[in-house]
Amino acid sequence: METSPARSNFIRDIIEDDLRVGRHQRIVTRFPPEPNGYLHIGHAKSICLNFGVARDYAGQCNMRFDDTNPEKESEEFERAIAEDVQWLGFSWDDRYFHASDYFEQLHDYAVHLIKAGLAYVDSQSAEEIRNARGTLTEPGRDSPWRARTVDENLALFARMRAGEFADGTHVLRAKIDMASPNINLRDPTIYRIRRTTHHRTGASWAIYPMYDYTHCISDALEGITHSLCTLEFEDHRPLYDWVLDQLPVPCHPRQIEFARLELNYTITSKRKLHALVHEGLVSGWDDPRLPTLKGLRRRGYPAAAIREFCERVGLTKKQTTIDMGVLETCVREDLDANAPRAMAVLDPVKLVIDNYPAELVESLPAANHPKNPDFGSREIAFSRELYIEREDFMEDPPKGFFRLGPGREVRLRYGYLVTCTHVEKNDAGEIIAIHCSYDPATRGGNAPDNRQVKGTIHWVSAATAVSTEVRLYDRLFTIPDPGSDDDFRIHLNPDSQRVLPAAQLEAALADAAPGASFQFERLGYFCADLREHAPGRPVFNRTVTLRDTWAKVQGKRD
């Protein structure tokens, strides 16, 4: 995996200082997703950070699933998450863990807290606990069960584990400080009853630990040195430290927070992504309009471009929203260097070269990459009848239009110079064919008399072209911050997907492997659809346009 030189940031500064003074001999990080959905572009930042610093400082990064909420988690999500991390270019070797691996130890540590008088079983309802928690300006109120004896708490907790109580009957709470200015320290719940089947442990457990309790202990058991998480966990750090300070854990990792990655014109809320998928507003978790890694991959975004994007936006403590154009620039740069070229016509109209031999099909050489001869070349068919883009012809062209028009001469890319002679229309007055003549002495697009031809257009041979479905994708939402509205659905872009059912492509593209990327000359970057592209039914998705035209278009709309 090729990577750009790592940019310095405050987390790397901390790590380098820890190594310099001998606080740690080896860096150990972890990526700890909950298997309750698919990863999105925001997770990519955390993946690249945790695996990246471990790689760059000769340490290790663990893959660990926070599987403590069995009602929302599944093996499907876990498999998808693991696949996405590997697709991004990272490996965990044999360090593949689950919070559920530690359920017994987590339980024993809870018993330790009870025996130390630092945890108690609360029999209030969830609403009663919430109402007694207090506010930012008012302290909370002690639970009437806070003074239970150690023996009472041990007995009740054992019965909770044995499955004797219904969900919601009791919880186990840490006994900290109901008057703390940090609400997270007001006797937080650390265990709740959930009589449901876990996708890994089955029906073995009737109680499950809460995230804030589980996460810090899992970090300590795995010897994590730097627990890197997003800013919403900053107020949880005192609880992270409190739990570890009370327990005989093997080490005390340091939690460091950074700003999460947010993009405009999309959403990364798991709840809202679930709604888009389950309400049928998109075609699935891998819909190319979604910011999920599955969707970005299907759209044709290279993993290297996403890694570069995460590196380029950097790490800060201030929450900001990144313009989608920054990500698209990284994608363009990667594909410009690595995607072979091909020709395709998305809105075809027939071009008939009247003086070209009717039965002749020539083979013309074309470079696979004009900037890199290592890509080699290919042969493309040229015949009397071609397809060109409908927008490349105008009957009454304005000033500055250098493409084809009556009496005008243009260069056919890799082919010949042609001059329009007349057009053919149907009864509705629509152009169905453009007729022209060609100059046989201009093979390869060169004019022997050095005459000036300003326009060059692309084409495909009608004799060998493959009819293909092409999907053009745009921003999923019409406003930069759709998540700010209570109903994000009203901002869905009705033009976020446009399907062209009969685009015409070079014949060889029909055999492209699913996921293969190309630059369709003059049109943009496209990839063979991972799910639906197949021999006999090619399907291509537009990954990104050749240039960022969104700002210009939005300016006109506004």
Catalytic amino acids? Answer: 34, 260, 270
3-state secondary structure string across 377-435: EEEEEEECEEEEEHHHECCCCCCCCCCECECCEEEECCCCEEEEEEEEECCCCCEEEEE
Kindly list the distances between the CA atom of residue 2 and the CA atoms of 29, 88, 156, in Å, as whole numbers in the listed order.
21, 11, 55
Identify the helix (H) or strand (E) that includes residue 363. strand 361-367
Could you say which DSSP state residue 5 is in? P
Largest CA distance in the chain: 102
Cα gap 296→500, rounded to integer Å: 20
Short-list 93, 36, 31, CA closest to 64: 31
Q: How is the beta sheet containing 456-457 ordered, strand by strand? A: 456-457, 409-412, 417-425, 431-438, 348-353, 385-389, 460-461
Separation of alpha carbons 474 and 322, rounded Å: 17
Cα dist. 173→101, 218, 240, 433 in Å?
Answer: 22, 19, 15, 77
- Tokens representing 120 are 């108690």
- Contact of 313 with 44, CB cutoff 8 Å: no
Check if the beta carbon of residue 119 is closer than 8 Å to that of residue 143.
no
Position 63: which residue type? M
